[in-house]
Amino acid sequence: MPIPISLKQATDEVDGPGSAMDGWVHRKTGEFVFIPKEENYGSLDEFQEEIDRVEESEDFIALPSQFDLHEYRIMERFSASQADDRVRERLLEAISGKGAFRRFKDTAHRLGVREAWFEYRFAALAVQVADFLDENGISYIDDVGLPKRARPDDEAD
């Protein structure tokens, strides 16, 4: 029987390495494995044992990449959710055009909503990670307090 993993840890693991590494989770043990991308690291000879282990097992599932997480949409939703018109407008302005991520983070800091952003972002990522785990049949412990969501097995016949 697969060991349930911590949703908080899974979210931290998915969020942690950024685009410089590829990650996998073992569906039965909950072990996370990260291997640098060759273009960012050079030779991967020292990681060959881990690479072989991941490639030779059907139990390792590739984690969602930074691109799969749609952080821009999360910034958009956070910005639009702000009750203060001035804050909402400034954040929405910050995410337009080149350099949106840096501008957004700087603006959130200046406007005093940086901590609220981090909490919102983590919660949004946790929902995406929970969906990923559900889709791949990986059990987890909800130690982040996900909002109640309709799941296929929750639906009435």
Q: Which residues contact 108 (CB under 8 A, 6 or more apart)?
A: 91, 94, 114, 117
Mean pLDDT over 130-150 rounds to: 87
pLDDT of residue 152: 46
pLDDT of residue 35: 87
% the chain with pLDDT above 70: 89
DSSP designation for 45: G
Distance CA 119, CA 114 (A): 9
Q: Is residue 155 pLDDT above 90, yes or no? A: no
Q: Is residue 85 pLDDT above 90, yes or no? A: yes
pLDDT of residue 67: 80
pLDDT of residue 149: 61
Amino acid at 144: V
Distance CA 81, CA 7 (A): 25
∠ Cα 70 72 75 (to 5°):
120
Residue 114 confidence class, pLDDT cut points 50, 70, 90: very high
Per the CB < 8 A criterion, the answer to whether 110 and 123 are in contact is no
Full-model pTM? 0.83
For 116-139, how does the pLDDT look when each residue is reduced to its tens digit (9 = 90+)?
A: 999 999 999 999 999 999 999 999
Residue 66 confidence class, pLDDT cut points 50, 70, 90: confident
For 14-45, how does the pLDDT look when each residue is reduced to its tens digit (9 = 90+)?
A: 887 667 788 999 988 889 999 888 766 667 78
pLDDT of residue 157: 37
